[in-house]
Structure 1
């Protein structure tokens, strides 16, 4: 009988090693949501511990991997999610065949009391997964001259409002202090309540500041009118993408 050409294992970050995991994620075009620092933010804020699903070839080399975490529900099955509180995550891989093998192997090797959710921009149907495509992602290239970027915006919906913002004395700067972070959070709370959306705790942003901002994986942009902060955005960075 032929032996299985690969194995699927579940490991903690301590077993893999943070440097090893982050180097692997970087080599396989991982995003900030694959980085151990992001997983630590989620753990510190919500108590959700990561587990790392690793596919190894017969010679022991890692050919695909995926971070995930278990979410327990009082009603129904628990879920294994890649990754909670993340826009996108999913498998790290060199070829689609390796990713399909990881996903199919996960369906057979994972605990059967779990439902598994993969938040990936790439659809996977191996292992019986169904696809939900109700979300959209958008990207804007900024490696061009400012004039070329502006020309790509809608004349009335965007360009006119940008000009009006400058005319009204608004200015943007990088936030560098905890006071800036608190101003951002005040604006965040106001916006979420106005939209009827849940408000994340300040500890989430404090942990982001400690774990990601301090290591260059996040930045804070604040917009001022006079001496008052009136808007802001927290950017998470993955290589040359924010």
Structure 2
């Protein structure tokens, strides 16, 4: 038996404790990002937590209601972030969370749900969700010495711009 609820700012510590322990969480999942987006852009947040029968959080799903003349009224999972996976302990929790988000969509007369993910998701309603797999995140270990770090860059504009800066500086 699972229960899902939309959290408010009083539940931020519960949310943060879950995401800080989850291996796929990012800075964008933190409640501070939620506060930043709400304050800066005025978007209404819809942060869902799924609890099991022991009242433990087993999934979290962060969304914002975004209204635009260009794109209409839609739910966006973590605007202004590269990716925003639903964080869950298991596949069943992901499925239940998706179903709850769809119900919320129907209650708010929203045309689309945009979810930007790192990897493909199985068993979801493709008619209701717009899944974006095209966002890329580049990770580079910064503890390396500068010369080894520079060699990790692909031969692109990045290397060219660094060399140009070093010549000019």
Same fold (TM over 0.5): yes
Alignment of 1:1-242 (within 5 A): 5-14=1-10, 16=11, 18-29=12-23, 30-73=25-68, 78-107=73-102, 109-112=103-106, 113-114=109-110, 115-129=112-126, 131-154=131-154, 158-159=158-159, 161-169=161-169
Aligned match of 1:215: none
Is the Cα–Cα contact under 8 Å of residues 39 and 49 in structure 1 kept in the other structure? no
- CA-atom RMSD in angstroms: 2.7
Counterparts of 1:88 and 1:154, CA distance in 2: 22
Q: How far did 1:97 drift? A: 4.1
Give the greater-gyration-radius structure (CA): 1
Give, in angstroms, the shift of residue 167 of structure 1.
Answer: 3.1
Mark the runs of 5 or more structure 2 residues left unpaired by the alignment: none
List 4+ stretches of structure 1 deviating above 6 A: none
**Contact kept in structure 1, 2:116 and 2:131, CA below 8 Å:** no
Distance in 2 separating the partners of 1:71 and 1:54: 20
Deviation larger for 117-126 or 154-163: 154-163
What's the counterpart of residue 204 of structure 1?
none
Change (3 A) 1:150 1:126: same
Q: For structure 1, which runs of at least 5 residues remain unmatched after alignment?
A: 170-242
State the 1:47 CA deviation: 0.9
In the alignment, the residues of structure 1 paired with residue 104 and residue 141 of structure 2 have an alpha-carbon distance, to the nearest angstrom, of: 39
Q: Deviations over 1:94-138 (max 9, x none)?
A: 33443233224433x324133322122132243313544333332
TM-score after normalising by structure 1 = 0.57
Task: Using structure 2 for the length normalisation, give the TM-score.
Answer: 0.77
CA–CA separation in structure 2 for the residues paired with 1:58 and 1:99: 16
